[in-house]
Structures are given as structure tokens and as C-alpha cells.
Amino acid sequence: MGPCRITSETQKGVCGASRDLIAARNLLRTVAAGAAAHCGHAQHILDFTGGAMPRRHTPAGGAGSQFLEISEALHLSSMGVGADPAEMLRRALKLAALDGLCGLSLATALEDENFGKPEVKKGILNLACLKAGKVNIAVHGHEPMLVQALAKEASRHTDVNLVGVCCTGASLLSTLGVPLAAAFTRQEDVIATGIVEAMIVDSQCVMPSLPDLCECFHTKLITTSELARLPGALHLPVRSRKEAVRTAKMAIETARRNKKNRSPRAEKEFKNRTEKPENAVVGFCEDNIAAERIAAMLKNGAIKGVIGAVGCVNPRADAAGWINAFRELSADHVILTTGCMAFELGRHGLLTGKRIFHMGSCVNNARLAEVFRRLAALSGGKIAEMPFLVSCPMPITEKSVAIGLFFAALGCDVHFGAPFPINPHTGAAGILAAMLKEQYSSAAVFESAPGAFLAWKRAVTGAAPPPERRGKRREFVKI
Ligand code: WCC
Ligand code: FE2
């Protein structure tokens, strides 16, 4: 009796739950958690600015009904409520679509409105962005409320070097060109350089290891989200613009005072590092991506498709293999990338702004959806008829699963690498495939090996489908 685990196809749980039911329930709970994170992110910005939900992002059930959907999904998938796998999966796809509307798209619109839309610019990334001679402050997490005020305040202090980590960093890089030191997997390395005076975190993808790690160095850990507190950290809440300015000043003062505690040895070691910052072209968004040119390239066969490379970089996966796969695909595809994948591609010198475009943080995947919509409109078709693929090759968090299924609900084919969000060999995966095909004209592909993924992509990719084939549904491909 619990936790629910899939054993074999024929076996059922003591309660009678089948393998398919357990798989479907797990997927629904995963999407609910991902949607809660994105919708919560958007709601926190609304709370911060005191604004109301814009009409175009309001779900059919009214403002706030997305949270009821999330709650109902958790209720439905708890012990002994629903027992129909198809109903769970139907809800999962509906919730993924809501995540796109009230999470990704709303958060992106609010960030653009309140903190400015990105513009194309040069940026630098990796740990070498830290400066031994300066007071280093790293900002980490996802929500941008403090960091915009912090960046403004930091620019008044010539001795301060502000760097970003993870999606707070990706968003700062896109909007203000602030250097990006690391993504999720390398967040500990930032502190372990020994030359970071303060790490300021908001929420999501912040490792619980950070308080322990900061104990080993002089780094002051500062939390700013009322939701996401860490034991032992200095908590400076940011609930309004006024508080953001006050916290920015306090955080900078705290970091400056802390520099005297830096270990001279750590500073010397950092100076001896030979690594150089990686150059990148960043700040792409739906308004500056040259959609007409990409649509023309699709039409004349100069490129075979557009791929979204999104989601996490899982240390258990073959990250180098995936980077090589996208490098290879960029020869005849345009690649739009966000979040940790964008950092990883950048770390390998691939964000040149020629074929691979940095589109910002994970909630900024809304920009990919908008680019897809515009490209489809320019080509006179629907998203489902276009050679688009969104690939999430190394998912770690529930958020990346919700994002992937959001694109599937838009009619875009999606690829997931391991750990798979649903066991592709279960009947539940078959139900999901049929649902995607029948109701959304999309397909989900599960493949954990970069080489096999490339071979599959090469096999299914032709030039853009000729007009007479448009509208025809493609077959579900399962590897
Ligand atoms: Ni989005 Fe994955 Fe990075 Fe966190 S920041 S680790 S969900 S890709
Ligand atoms: Fe993220």
C-alpha cells in the first residue's frame, strides 16, 4: 500500500490501480506542479505590481480559475478519486494549455510590460564572468521583481559586479545584458569559487544545498520570496516596488561589507583560472527574430524546420551528446532556446545569433509559441502543419514536462528525453498518443540517446510539407 509504483503490465495495486492509471495519475500531478510554479510566478508579479490579470490571459473560467484547475487535478489524481487514465490525461493536456496561457504567456507579458522587452545585444556567460577585484553579487531563481531594481542600484557602484544564475539570470541577460554565470547544475560552483559576497535567491530551481554550501565559504545567502525561505539565510522580502529598492540597497551594502571576509587564497586561485567568459548574442524575442526571413527559408527549403531546445540539463544525461545533436541540427534548422538548455548551448559557444537564438528564461517559452504562431500565419497554415519540434532532452523538473505538453497542446510535435515523464511502453502512453493525434494533431517522441534522436529526426525531416500535404495528420512516432 503505497507509494504507488508500476510493477508489471498484468499486476495491479492492492487498491486495484492499474499500471496505466498510476502512470496517468503521475503525469497529471507532474503537470499540475509545473503549472503551479509558472502560474504562481505570474501571480507573484501581479501581486508585486498591484495589477489585474489582463483580459487576453484570463482563462475561460475567469481570473484565478487556473488555480482551481490545479487543485482539482491534484484532487482527481489522489487516492481513490478518479480511476480513468484517459480522464487524467485529458486533464493533463488541458492543464498544460492553461499553463501556457496563465503561466508562461502571462508571466512573459507582465515581465515585458513592467521591466522592458529584450533587445538583441552581446552578452557573456560562464563562471569567468565573476571578477576577483570586485564585490560579486549573484542573483538566482526565476522571478524578476528584485533584480531589476538591484541592477539599477548596482550600476551606481563601480566596485560591484552583478551576475545572474539560472532563469533570473537568463531574464537579466536578455533584458539588461547582465552576465550569466551559471544555470541550474552549476549554481553550487558559483559559491564554490569563494569570491561571491552574496547570493540572492528568489524561487524555483534553488538547490537546498546552498545554505550548507554558504557555511563553507563567506558567501551571504539572501532570500527574497515569501514562499521560498531557506534555513539560515538572511530574509529580505520583496513584495512591492518600494521594498525592491530598499532590499536592493540593503543587499548591496551587505555584500560590500562582506568582501573583507573573502579568503585571499580563494581570490588568488580564481585569478589563476584560465577560463575566459564565453561570448553570446542574446535578447531575442518574438518581435526581433526576423520571422519573415525564417518563413521564407522554410518555404525555399534553406531550412528544414524550427526546433525549440528547452528545459533542464540533467547531469545524469549525456549533455555533451545533446549539445552536439543540436549543433548538427542547426546546419539546416533554426533553433530557439531558453532556460538551462540556452546556457548550455552558450557555454559551448553556439549562441552566435545566426542559427541558434537565445530567447530568455523558461517562462519565456511563451515567446517560442508566439514565434511558431507567427511563422504558421506567414506560411498560411496552422502550427500542426508546420515542421516544428520542441525538444526537452533532459527534463529534471515538473515545469519542463508542463512546458513540453503545452507545445503538444498547441499542435507542435514534442520530444522528451529521459527521465521520461510517462513510461512510453504503457497503455497510458498509447492513450496520450491517440489523444494528441486526434485532438491536437501533434505527437510525442520519447528518446534518451542523442544519436538515436538525430537518426529519427533525419528520417522524419523532409523539406517543409508542400501545400497539398498540409493539414494531413502525421503519424505518432514512438521509439
Ligand atoms: Ni527551467 Fe529546468 Fe533549468 Fe529549472 S531553470 S533546471 S526547470 S530548465
Ligand atoms: Fe527556469
DSSP string of 65-133? HHHHHHHHHHHHTSTTS---HHHHHHHHHHHHHHIIIIIIIHHHHHHHHHH-----EEEEESGGGS-TT
The CA-based angle 91-92-97, given to 5 degrees, is 95
Q: Quick one: DSSP state of residue 440?
A: I
Number of helices (H) and strands (E), helices first, in the chain? 17, 14
> Which positions ≥6 away from 245 have C-beta within 8 Å?
149, 153
User: Is there an atom of ligand 1 within 6 Å of 200 CB?
Assistant: no
Distance 170 CA to ligand 2 centre (A): 8
Look at strands 388-392 and 305-309 and give their pairing: parallel
What's the pLDDT at 462? 59
What's the pLDDT at 470? 43
How many whole angstroms separate alpha carbon 421 and alpha carbon 417? 9
User: Is there an atom of ligand 1 within 6 Å of 166 CB?
Assistant: yes
Ligand 1: nearest atom to the Cα of 341: 8
What's the pLDDT at 284? 98
What's the pLDDT at 475? 41
User: Is there an atom of ligand 1 within 6 Å of 435 CB?
Assistant: no
Ligand 1: nearest atom to the Cα of 338: 8
User: Is there an atom of ligand 1 within 6 Å of 396 CB?
Assistant: yes
Q: Where are the beta strands (DSSP E) in 316-459?
A: 333-337, 356-358, 388-392, 413-416, 444-446
User: Is there an atom of ligand 1 within 6 Å of 314 CB?
Assistant: no
Q: Which ligand is nearest to the CA of 399?
A: 1
Q: At what angle do helices 85-98 and 398-409 cross, to 10 degrees?
A: 90
User: Is there an atom of ligand 1 within 6 Å of 330 CB?
Assistant: no
Q: pTM for this structure? A: 0.95
How many whole angstroms separate alpha carbon 23 and alpha carbon 84? 11
DSSP secondary structure, 180-209, as one string:
EEE-GGGHHHHHHTS-EEEEEE-SSS--TT
What's the pLDDT at 293? 97
Q: Are the CB atoms for 399 and 362 separated by under 8 Å? A: yes
Distance 279 CA to ligand 1 centre (A): 22
| Nearest CA among 280, 299, 432 for reference residue 343 | 280
Retrieve residue 437's grid coordinates: 493525434
User: Is there an atom of ligand 1 within 6 Å of 397 CB?
Assistant: yes
The CA-based angle 293-299-300, given to 5 degrees, is 90
User: Is there an atom of ligand 1 within 6 Å of 88 CB?
Assistant: no
CA dihedral 348, 354, 360, 366 (to 10 degrees): -130
Q: Which residues of the chain have pLDDT under 70?
A: 462-479
User: Is there an atom of ligand 1 within 6 Å of 26 CB?
Assistant: no
Distance 397 CA to ligand 1 centre (A): 7
| Nearest CA among 152, 153, 155, 151 for reference residue 164 | 151
φ, ψ dihedrals at 102, nearest 5°: -100, -5
Largest Cα span, the chain:
70
User: Is there an atom of ligand 1 within 6 Å of 340 CB?
Assistant: yes
Q: Quick one: DSSP state of residue 363?
A: T
Report the amino acid identity of residue 335. Answer: I
DSSP secondary structure, 252-284, as one string:
HHHHHHHGGGS-HHHHHHHHT----PEEEEE--
| Sheet with strand 234-235: strands edge to edge | 234-235, 220-223, 196-201, 135-141, 160-165, 180-182, 121-125, 278-282
φ, ψ dihedrals at 133, nearest 5°: -85, 0
User: Is there an atom of ligand 1 within 6 Å of 295 CB?
Assistant: no
- Which of 142, 340, 341 maximizes ligand 1 atoms within 8 Å of its Cβ, making it the mutation to test the pocket? 340
User: Is there an atom of ligand 1 within 6 Å of 205 CB?
Assistant: yes
User: 456, exposed or middle or buried, with CB in 10 Å at 0-12, 13-18, 19+?
Assistant: middle
Look at strands 160-165 and 356-358 and give their pairing: unpaired
Q: Which ligand is nearest to the CA of 142?
A: 2
User: Is there an atom of ligand 1 within 6 Å of 400 CB?
Assistant: yes
- Which residue in this structure is represented by grid cell 525555399? 300
Distance 97 CA to ligand 1 centre (A): 19
Q: Are the CB atoms for 222 and 211 separated by under 8 Å? A: no
Q: Are the CB atoms for 332 and 354 separated by under 8 Å? A: no
What's the pLDDT at 6? 72
User: Is there an atom of ligand 1 within 6 Å of 182 CB?
Assistant: no
- Which of 41, 104, 202, 205 maximizes ligand 1 atoms within 8 Å of its Cβ, making it the mutation to test the pocket? 205
| Nearest CA among 391, 396, 404, 407 for reference residue 460 | 391
How many whole angstroms separate alpha carbon 299 and alpha carbon 292? 10
What's the pLDDT at 466? 40
- Which of 166, 180, 316, 347 maximizes ligand 1 atoms within 8 Å of its Cβ, making it the mutation to test the pocket? 166
